[in-house]
Structure 1
Amino acid sequence: LAQQGLLMGNDIEAMSDAELALAVETTNVFAKLTPSHKERIVRLLKANGHVVGFMGDGINDAPALRTADIGISVDSAVDIAKEAADIILLEKSLMILEEGVLEGRRTFANMLKYIKMTASSNFGNVFSVLVASAFIPFLPMLPMHLLVQNLLYDISQIAIPFDNVDDEMLATPQRWQPGEVGRFMLFFGPISSIFDITTFALMWYVFDANTPDHQTLFQSGWFVVGLLTQTLIVHMIRTPKIPFLQSRAALPLMLMTGVIMAVGIFLPMGPLAHYFKLQALPSLYFVFLPVILLAYMALTQAVKGYYICRFGWQ
């Protein structure tokens, strides 16, 4: 370790908490410490906003182990140290800690992906339903359609725990920030609503699905667009980079989202359509569908670039 300052126990004894709180930020070697010194250093690091891990195996380490966010000990430590610790290492290797930290960051990043995706897509869906209900003389989508759509979407998310995480996301620790999720939802949720409303106009004016007698055609058209955009958002939001080109999802996630998108198109076009109160879509619909999806991805990527410049990316 490159030495960045040295503090001895008698130096710490002479410092106030305010002085020591500044010193711990520029010092990485502490020597000849009492148990109270160790506990004080850990407490002040936490007060400075750090997440602190402490490793020890003796009686003198117990106060600091208990104060730290993560207390780490070994199976050969004294009983009081093991009781105060959160983690007990069973192998004589510190590389386990590095592996654990990286796996924890990977798990947190994937968890955050799911929360952001679900919050933004649900917000967009609710907004779209409200807009449609205000202007359309029939239900824009049946409850059965919403349930099937959400079920298929959730199935596609099963593969997220196996997804790749960009190296940049593993380089530094991340924190749970509820305000960040809310802001993210407000930025990205309405994007899907823009293309939902575009689909409403398409079905209403191009395909004449504008009466209660033709509501099944309208609902089928929105069902497909809604499911496909909801599934594609996984790849758009999983990374701050350009998806598919600069950062690819893991194979299980790619396969799962591909299968769900295929199922979403098959349901109204196949023999099961009448069971789900859907109907086959005209060929012209599938000329407009790729245009809508590509425009959706382009706008999401543009908003993502602005969002990263303005707020950063977690």
Structure 2
Amino acid sequence: MENENIIKGQGAQRNVINRFDKYTFEPEDEDFETMKTSFTEVFPKTIVNQVKSEDLPMEYSMNPYQGCEHGCSYCFARPTHEYWGYSAGIDFERKIMVKKNAPQLLEKFFQKKGYKPEPILLSGNTDCYQPAERQFEITRQLLQICLDYRHPVNVLTKNALVLRDLDILKPMAEQNLVSVSLSIPTMNEDLRRKMEPRTSSSKNKLKAVEILSENKIPVHIMVAPVIPGLTSDESLGILKAISDAGALSFGYTLVRLNDAVEPVFVKWIETHFPDRAQKVLNLIRSMRGGKLGEKRYFDRQRGEGNIAEMIHNTFKIGRKKFFDEKRGFPKLSTQNFTGTKEQQLRLFD
């Protein structure tokens, strides 16, 4: 039975204590209900980050926003909000920092002497197509710069808003400069509205896969995270649906609840699914050595125990059944990178 005291359209149901703060202020419930999302412009010195995690395949990432309106209770990026003096709970979803100077910083990065291009992951921390993007269009500007410089980029999102930028993505794909990864952790729309309340519907995500594929834009799907006892029974159905829609490949991750993510998720599942909350939490512990989180490289991806092994085997079956060996995800090209805007080069044609 679902708890009646729910802040609707919200993943986190409360703020959680910032580990860097000695004191914390918790508004009343009615204040959370009426609190509007605020946007604050920040001025970073760089926009491209070097990825140093040993078990991640990308070299660089960039995030035009800090914080994320999508409201996923399990989001691993929540603790990064604490570095800005905010909570990883409701603050993460309602206090969004906007990097309006990101396009200028990206151009500056591309123009660095001796820079050797590698594909950049657009997102990686918070979603580049979260609702704020409709207003600020920073992601669109970043994609246009990548096209101008002929620089490869991988886009990762939970939002079908990516289709707005087909006019940029199509010419990029023609030059093998772009791929799109969409996150689809569930096809159960009632569950989706609770798990990731401000993302696109599952139906719209699948439609986005179809449209992107029809336009010859390579699509990868992240079935992430897999939550035992909540989403784990959907895996084969998701793989069939994304295969039919035209996705070329997929990946998946097991849920892990590190640092401030743990109290946010625990409160979320106790609020929405009080009848099965402890069962789900215990299943997660069984994959994480008795804990809810895991930080060790590679171990955090694999998990341990019978439940983790069952999930891995399910995806092996799905890969064999729905993704034949002829499908392959293209490696993006770095050969055409100019170091200057493409428009400038046309002056000499």
TM-score range, shorter chain: under 0.3
* Bigger RCO of structures 1 and 2 (CA < 8 A, at least 6 apart): 2
Q: TM-score, with normalisation over the residues of structure 1?
A: 0.24
Flag the structure with larger Rg: 1
Q: TM-score, with normalisation over the residues of structure 2?
A: 0.22
Bigger proportion of residues as helix: 1
